[in-house]
Amino acid sequence: MNLSKYLPDLLEEYRYLLSAAFTMAENAGGIHMKYFRKSGLEQSTKLNDSDVVTIADKEAEASILTFIHQHFPTHGIISEESGIEHDDREWRWVIDPLDGTTNFAMGLPPFCVSIALERNKEAIIGVVYAPYLGECFYAVKGMGTWLNGIPIHCSDKSELSKAVIATGMPYDRNDNPDNNLAEICRMALCVRGIRRMGSAAIDLCYTAAGYFDAYWELNLNRWDVAAGQLIALEAGVIVESIRSDRNHSLLASNPNLYPSMCSILLGK
């Protein structure tokens, strides 16, 4: 998929940076597809049996890091598999080389590469590319959000009983009783449906596009949400932290449903 054809009309600096993110995403997506649904996929676990990593994660990350080192040697990096490089620098790339690894390893389509560029720790560019689905979501701070070249906006649904929302469960759910099960049970009685896609980046993008009306999840990492959060915000979604003690724990909702979502999740 040639992502360069989707470049919007931007100031030259932003256009150059977004083009670079497209190139990295496209290269990573090509690596994903080289391994997807192929036999003999090398995989292992990290923290526990729910936390999977594959050779595709590692090769996609290596491709992205090589590009950044070559083209942006003064920039910092946060990446899921390799960690942090030069976190104190003005410009920082935040990378999830393969979000939805469990889906990927099982041959399920919802997986993606997520790339954000931050300036002074604030995201200014976000790209989420799902190669099997042929979907590229991207945003530039203050300039909007697009899906495959078409501007998108969140839903305007106002009745929670008609809402379809998304969530996920933390990797430590077996060891920590603060695992989102209680919140899911409360929410399930109030909405049309709950979906568990297995990719925080895709959940945020689908909320941006109005495919979901809202999304929440606990105990995410910066690389899970950096690009998707900007994409959602630029599409009109309210994105707020709902917990200060569980890493990145977010509620993303269209504005009309936000008060109801807060009431059910937080008792407000």
Could you report the per-residue pLDDT of 145-168, keeping only the tens digit for each? Answer: 999 999 999 999 999 999 999 999
Give the homologous superfamily in CATH for domain 3-151. Answer: Fructose-1,6-Bisphosphatase, subunit A, domain 1 (3.30.540.10)
pLDDT score of 175 more than 70: no
Burial of 194 (0-12, 13-18, 19+ CB in 10 A): middle
In which residue are the tokens 């030259």 written? 12
pLDDT score of 259 more than 90: yes
Q: 24: how many CB neighbours lie within 10 A of its CB?
A: 26
- Quick check: do 3-151 and 160-266 share a fold? no
- For residue 47, the surrounding DSSP H or E stretch is none
The per-residue pLDDT for range 79-122, each reduced to its tens digit, is 987 888 877 899 999 999 999 999 999 999 999 999 999 999 99
Fold of 160-266: D-Maltodextrin-Binding Protein; domain 2 (3.40.190)
207, 213 contact by CB (below 8 A): yes
SS3 content of the chain, % helix, strand, coil (to 5): 35, 30, 35
Instruction: Provide the residue ranges of all domains of the chain, joining segments of one domain with +.
Output: 3-151, 160-266
What distances in angstroms separate CA 81 from CA 45, 188, 252, one per listed residue? 12, 34, 26
The per-residue pLDDT for range 39-73, each reduced to its tens digit, is 877 665 554 444 468 899 999 999 999 999 999 99
